[in-house]
Structure formats: structure tokens, C-alpha cells
Amino acid sequence: MINKILIANRGEIAARVIRTCKKLGIETVAVYSEADQKAPFVSMADESFLLGPPRVQESYLDTEKIMPIAKKSGADAIHPGYGFLSENGSFAEMCEQAGIRFIGPSADVMEKMGSKIAAREAMEKAGVPVVPGTDGAVASSDEAIEIARDIGYPIMLKASAGGGGIGMQVVNTDQELIKAFESNSKRARTFFGDGAMFMEKKLDHARHIEIQLLADSHGNAIHLFERECSIQRRNQKVVEEAPSSFISDETRQRMGETAVKAAKALGYVSAGTIEFLVDEQENFYFLEMNTRIQVEHPVTEEITGLDIVEEQIRIAEGKELSIRQSDVKIDGHAIEVRIYAEDPETFFPSPGHISAFELPDGEHIRNEAAVTDGYDVTPYYDPMIGKLIVKGADRSEAISLLKEALLTYKVEGIKTNIPMLKTVADHEQFKNGNTTTAFVETYYLPMIQTN
């Protein structure tokens, strides 16, 4: 049994984990930076400890500070949330050596999936289709040009390490590739300590659809159906929904079975997500695997009735999954939008003082907030300040509820992307389900440029 969990994270995901722990009667420990000392999650926890200055290297990424706090507090498990240390195999090993359970997969699986190149190779061995591209790292921009001409432009240049769209860029010409290769490799080295780059053919009119997985240490693995995450800006998701309105029941079943097969081939244990690109003919190709809980997990919880954090904890305790595949059913339709402190036209971050903050309320409306009224949004972290999740009997009802909720979502003192989300929710192409990865560039940006 797990009795006390340290949450090695911040913001809404820290608060989210704390809520489930309270439900289960598990004590919680929060760690926070100087910039987050007034954040809601800090006071929600049973205990809280200051890590250090705002910079992540001196706080949320500093394992030499986190581990002693875990031992001092008597925590017998650590939940890493998403981002930060959540996919750091060395940290998982550190926890194991200290006799503290890491709520996530094993370090070796994490390391393998943390490299997009190694993950691609592993998926090919498991029989999962992959996008046409390079088999390994590309050594130079000259080699990249040769490969790009063979694959055919446009191509997607990607950093092997990391995520969140960092080191990723669409390239259409040789000249663009020369410039992009060096800049993205340098950026990846800065953020992840690894500048290795690879390339894949860019699929036109593709959709970003992912499968949520749960797997225990007893050999059981199931999927919780799919999430459609195609509406993105800067290669980062903004709107997510479940189930997808695009794929057929047959494709849904094949994607789920393929993801489960891959998880079992990896010996995967915990919650995880396999992301796919799906073309217009519903052919799907492996994109990446996230060996952690996802930002968008609430939409899956809403349509399945499951608590994914609770399942993570059960699995970490060595228990079998509480359900079997035949028990998982889709109930209704859920949509999540990410609320960012950013300019809705340029997408640049907009830190500052929140002078007023009010959340929408009502049946089938769920809020995951990282801030409160009077909170100061700093420039040190990702600008997401909350998530709004709605559920309807069907997609049309969910969209109507989303539009109503956005009208009453109040954030004053800083710019947010709420105007953008209102525009998307009201767009005919969104209502019709035409939500490809090019949605923002094709429909949203032209609208604001002409206004």
C-alpha cells in the first residue's frame, strides 16, 4: 500500500493528483518554487516544502533537492505528473534505489520511448505502422537535404529528445531545411541535452489521434479508446476531445488493439499514451509514446467514468487493473480546451497579475485550474493556467456547452487565448468535425489577419 505521495510537479496537475489522493485517504506532499508559493496546490497538500528559486533547474528539475524532501517527509511514492521529471529514466532509477515507488513505467522503457528515434524502431519491431522517414539520427544538414529530396517535401524535422513541439518544424525547401536543421538541433541541445534530429514525411490533412493505455505488472493491458488532439498551435495541443468524430468503429478497434499490442511488446506498466497521425483514408501511423499521464486525460475520464490517476496509483502498488477491456464503454462526448496566458493572435506568453478570475459552473462542466484571483502568472513556466472540460450526450451538445462555459470564463489583468477558443468553438469547420492539424493555419489565422 502507498500511504504518502510526493508530487514532483506544480500547477493544475499537482492539484489534480492531490484530489485523487484525498479520495483514497493517501497523504500528500507538495514541493514548490519561490514563484509558486501562493499557488493553490501548495495549500491543498498535507505538507509542502520550498525547493528554491523559480528557474526549473533550481527547483522542479533539481533531483538533489527533491529526493531529500521525499525521504524527510516519509513519502513512499512520487507522482511526477507531466513534463519536468515525468519521463526522466534517471529520476525513476533514483527513486527505486531510495526505496520510493515511482508512479510510472520502468526507467528502461521510459528511456527507450524518450528517444523518438529509438521509439520509432521499437514500434516497427512491434508491427506498428510508422510514417515514412529516417531510420536513425541525421548527421548534418547536407545529409538531411539528400533524404528530404528522396522522401519528398514537405517534411517534418524533429528533435529525437523532448516534446511540447520544441525542436519540431515543417520544412518545404532545401534552404529552409539548412536553416531549420541547425537552429532546431541547437534548441534541442539547450532544452534536452540532446541535439539529435530525424525526419518524417509530413502528412497533409492529417489528424492527431492518440490511444490511452493502462497496463499492470501482471501482464494485463487495456486501452481507454482515443482522443482527438488535432487543433494545435506551435505544434502544441489546444483543443482535445473524446471520442474522435472522424474515425470509424473498425479503425477505432484496430488502433486500440495495435496500441495494446505495442504496450505488451514493450513490457509497459502504468498509464501511457500512444499517439498516431491518421490520414484522410484512416490509415494510422505511430507518432510517439508518452510514458506518463497526459494533459488531456480528463476527456477520457469523462467518457469512461474512470479515474486515471487512481489507476496509476493502484498499478504502482502492484495491484491488477480494476477493469477489463470488455468493461470499458464510451459514454457521451467530452471536449477539453487549454486556457493559456497568451496573446490570442500571436500566441506569445502574457504573464502578469490576474485581477479577476471566475470559473464557469454547472452540470457536466469540469475545471482544472492552476491559478486564483490575485495570482501572479510568471514567465518561468508553461503559460497554461487552466483547463475547461465539458461533457455532452453527443458532440453537438458538448460543443454547445463549451460555448456557454467559455462565455462565463473570466480572466482579467492578462491576455488569454479564450477569444481564440470561442472562435474555434463557433467555427463551422469545427462543428463539422474538420479538425486536422492544419486547422489553426487554415481557418483561425486567416480570420484574425483580415479583422
Q: Would you state the cell numbers that stand for residue 190, as one nine-digit string?
A: 539547450
Which distant-in-sequence residues (6+ apart) come within 8 Å of 365 by Cβ? 388, 389, 390, 401, 405
Tell me if 349 sits within 8 A of 341, measured CB to CB.
Answer: yes
The span from the CA of 167 to the CA of 256, in Å, is 29
User: What is the distance between the alpha carbons of residues 97 and 90, in angstroms, rounded to a whole number?
Assistant: 11
The torsion defined by the Cα of 263, 264, 270 and 274, in degrees rounded to 10, comes to 10
- Cell 462555459, located at residue: 405
Ranges of H-type helices in 317-444: 395-407, 418-426, 428-431, 439
Q: In terms of DSSP bridges, do strands 365-369 and 384-392 run parallel, antiparallel, or are they unpaired?
A: antiparallel
Q: Is 254 a catalytic residue?
A: no
Question: One-letter amino acid identity for 74?
Answer: G
Runs of H (alpha helix) within 385-427: 395-407, 418-426
Give the helix/strand (H/E) hosting 349: none
> Which of 322, 326, 306 lies closest to 314 in space, CA to CA?
322
Answer whether 419's CB lies under 8 Å from 342's CB: no
Catalytic residue among 292, 314, 366, 395: 292
Catalytic residue numbers, as ranges:
292
